[in-house]
Structure 1
C-alpha cells in the first residue's frame, strides 16, 4: 500500500513481494487468504494505519480463523501519508493493537521504539500463532512513489511464485 509498498520495494524486490497498490485496506485480507491457503509458510503483511482503519472487519475475521502462520505488521504514522498526510483516527487516540485484541487476536502489541518492536517481531516470527504488531513511526515517506515494476508484472510474478510454493 502506498508508502509501505514503495519502502519495501526500495529495500530490494523479491518474487514473494506483492505490492497492494490502488487497493487501500485490502492487504490484510489478501494476507489472511494467503495464510489460510499456505499453512506451511510464514506470511507477513506490512500495512499502514489508515489502510487498516479502512477495513477493520478483517481483524475480526483474522481472529475467527486465527491462522498460525500470519504476522500482521501495522506501521502507524497517524496519517494518510500516501494521499496527502491527513491525520488518521490513530492521531486522536485509536489504538490498533487494542482494536485487534478486542477483535480476538491474542498476540498484539504497540511499540514506539525499534528495540521493542524488533524483539516482538522476532518472537512473532518464531511463534506458531497469529500476531498483530503495531509500530508507531514518524510520518516520513519516500521521496518518490515510483517503482520500476508494473502492477501486472508484479501480479503475474507473484502468482507464479505462489504456484511454485504450492508445488514444493
Structure 2
C-alpha cells in the first residue's frame, strides 16, 4: 500500500508552478510542506466541500488544470459532488482521493463502509470520463503521466496509509494571509 507522503512527493514534482491544487484537511498540511505555493487553495473548515470548490475553479478557468486532493472521509460527506462534477464534465479536473478508511483530520475515526465502499466505482457510475483505483506506488508511477494528460473529469482513488506527519499550522491555514495570497495569484486568470 502507498504511504501518503511518498505518493504526494511524487505527484507534486509533476505539478506546474502555476497550477491550482485544491486540498482538504490533513492533505492540505502535507501540500503546504511539500509544495509551498500561492496556487494552493486550502479548503479548511468545509469538510465535504473541497470537491465543490475544485469544480467551481475548473468551470471558472477551463484552460487551467485543477488538481483536487480529497480524502475519503471528506468525499463521503458530499457524495452528490460526483454526479454534479460528472454532469458538468470539466475537462481540466483531476480528482484524487486519498483513501485510508478514516476521518484522519478528526482523530482517525473509521469511516462507514471502509471495507466495502468503492469510490472509483461510484465515480464511474456517476459519469466521470476516467476512473482509477491504485494501491501500489509502482501502479501510480506507471499511470500518472497518462492521468495528467488525459481529458477529464478524471477520478483517482489512492488506497494509502499514513506517512510522515507534517507540521499542522492551523493559524496559517485559517488566516486571511493564505486567502489573500491565493486571490492575488489568480487575479489575472
Q: Contact 2:42–2:173 at 8 Å: present in 1 too?
A: no
> Matches of residues 57-136 of structure 1 in structure 2 within 5 Å?
57-136=80-159
Distance change in 2, residues 1:148/1:70 (3 Å): same
Q: Which runs of 5+ in 2 are unaligned?
A: 1-23
Q: 1:17 aligns with which of 17, 40, 47?
A: 40
> Matches of residues 18-37 of structure 1 in structure 2 within 5 Å?
18-37=41-60
Deviation at residue 7 of structure 1 after TM alignment: 0.7
Bigger CA drift: 73-82 or 147-156?
Answer: 147-156
| Counterpart-to-counterpart distance in 1, 2:150 and 2:101 | 28
| Counterpart-to-counterpart distance in 1, 2:103 and 2:67 | 21
Deviation at residue 121 of structure 1 after TM alignment: 2.7
Bigger CA drift: 6-15 or 65-74?
Answer: 6-15
SS across alignment from 1:91: coil
Deviation at residue 143 of structure 1 after TM alignment: 5.6
Q: What is the TM-score of this pair, normalised by structure 2?
A: 0.81
Q: 1:54 aligns with which of 77, 89, 106?
A: 77
Bigger CA drift: 7-16 or 144-153?
Answer: 144-153
Q: What is the CA deviation profile of residues 7-48 of structure 1, one whole-angstrom value per residue up to 9, with x for unaligned ones?
A: 111113101001111111111101101001101101000010
Which residue matches 1:160? 184
| Counterpart-to-counterpart distance in 1, 2:75 and 2:40 | 19
How many residue pairs were aligned? 165
Q: Which structure shows the higher strand fraction? A: 2
Q: Which runs of 5+ in 1 are unaligned?
A: none
Q: Contact 1:49–1:78 at 8 Å: present in 2 too?
A: yes
Q: Contact 1:49–1:90 at 8 Å: present in 2 too?
A: no
Distance change in 2, residues 1:133/1:99 (3 Å): same
Superposition RMSD in Å: 1.6
